[in-house]
Structure 1
Amino acid sequence: MIDQERPLIYGYMRVQRSQTDEELLALERGLQLFATSEGYRYATTFQEFVPGCTRVFRALIAELTRVGGHHVVVPTMDHLALHPLLQIHLLMKLELDADAEVFEVIAS
């Protein structure tokens, strides 16, 4: 299969102030390894730096819509939100607004 034929997948993660550059790089590598092992073409990582903010999350939805992407990978579902109801809300937003499926690298 040619690289261009593989479906795109985008990474998303929330960055905490306490995380080191090495920890962030390891998380991003995990997203990229997941993409490769599952047959996706890794596009980029969207990183949310402001707690409680969804600006980057909304940018992810806009990008998915713009390119017709339908796949997102996160290190854990906690990167969407810590509260289970908010996780469900954001998962539904991705599904309804971008017809996107979310994959988790590490099952929580």
Structure 2
Amino acid sequence: MNNTDIILNAFVNLDISFLDELNNELDFSSDYKLEFIDKMNLLFEEQKKNGVEELVYVMGKCNHCYKGMNNYEFFDKATGKFLFRYVIGQETELSVVVTTCGNRF
């Protein structure tokens, strides 16, 4: 499984344990792995407190900040409510972009 798939599994399941599979050498939008996991944990816990149990996503292409990279709109699986949008993808061999996206598809 590639880095993007691992991260998407974590998002969909709101479960940071998937992120343990990521290489410790990787940089995640300028964060070290443990910093990245802490940030994702805060995001996932916030969603769970709001009653969200699982996410689904729609993939698109970024046409702005990370032109050509995949971006993902995440929705509550139970209600279909839009929650947030992220750009996620391998930028270089040791760098993965995982950042919020303020633009629409």
User: Could you say which TM-score interval applies, normalised by the shorter chain?
Assistant: 0.3 to 0.5
Q: When the two structures are superposed, what TM-score results if normalisation uses the length of structure 2?
A: 0.38
Q: Which of the pair has the greater relative contact order for Cα pairs under 8 Å at 6+ separation?
A: 1
Q: Which has the higher helix share?
A: 1
Q: Which has the higher strand share?
A: 2
Q: When the two structures are superposed, what TM-score results if normalisation uses the length of structure 1?
A: 0.38
